[in-house]
Amino acid sequence: MTKWLDYLPVLLQGVEITLIITFCGLLLGLVIALGLTWILDRRVPLLAQLAEGYLLLLTGTPLLVQIFLVYYGPAQFDWVKNSWAWSYLREPMFCAILALGMNAGAYTCRLFKGALDAVPKGETLACQALGMNAWQTLSVKLRHAGRRVIPAYSNEVVLVLKGSSLASTITIMDIMGLAQRLNGQTYDTLTVFGLAGAIYLGLNGLLTWLFRRLEKRALVFQAQG
């Protein structure tokens, strides 16, 4: 019991970093997903093919590989190291958020596109009849699709939170990074990683509860509408 009480304050120091990486990655992923969804929905020439290639690449390769490529890859090119971008790309935190956001954007785009395809075509025709432009039409469709996509998106949020633990592989002291350091100091593997897992479980449980409440509100709003 004493060990748990000693380890817990150390691991809790990583919660803030974990949440920052998670929510910044989700925000970046949301921006990327909306852009890709618009391109695929509008079938923009060439861009649609590039978007499909992006989705194939990001959903077809492991997140860990993507993190390594973003963090270690740019250092192989002198022109990158001599550019303004290097001040960001040399930072582990920025690279972790970038890799996580790019990955989340690809999976979230799949969710959004599937939800959009499920919206009745009559709604699109109604928007066009009212003289709405492409962005306005997409906005209306996204609002309707959003209520359908909330359950699936909540799973993506949980996956991003769990995926943030891979940031520890590039020296970031999040929950998992601190757990690895603590384990190296104590060799109390079962206790340290068991406690780290419990913290992740608690965070995921909280997120799941929040999304369930959001889903109930969305369903009530839909019923009233």
For the chain (225 residues), the mean pLDDT of every run of 10, in chain order, is 79 95 96 91 89 95 96 92 92 96 95 81 73 73 73 90 95 95 91 94 93 74 49
User: What is the predicted pLDDT for the residue at 16?
Assistant: 95
Give me the CATH number covering residue 21.
Answer: 1.10.3720.10
Q: Supply the DSSP symbol for 171.
A: T
- Domain annotation covers residue 39: yes
Q: Could you report how far apart the first and last alpha carbons of the chain are, in Å?
A: 53
- Domain annotation covers residue 225: no
Residue for token digits 């939170």?
161
Residue-range definition of the domain harbouring residue 214: 2-220
Distances (CA, A) of 112 to 18, 34, 37, 77: 25, 8, 7, 35
- Domain annotation covers residue 87: yes
- Domain annotation covers residue 62: yes
- Domain annotation covers residue 10: yes
- Domain annotation covers residue 130: yes
The alpha carbon torsion through 41, 45, 47, 52 (nearest 10 deg) reads 60
> How many domains are there within the chain?
1
User: What is the predicted pLDDT for the residue at 62?
Assistant: 96
- Domain annotation covers residue 25: yes
User: What is the predicted pLDDT for the residue at 223?
Assistant: 45
Query: How far apart (Å, rounded) are the C-alpha atoms in residues 209 and 105?
Result: 23
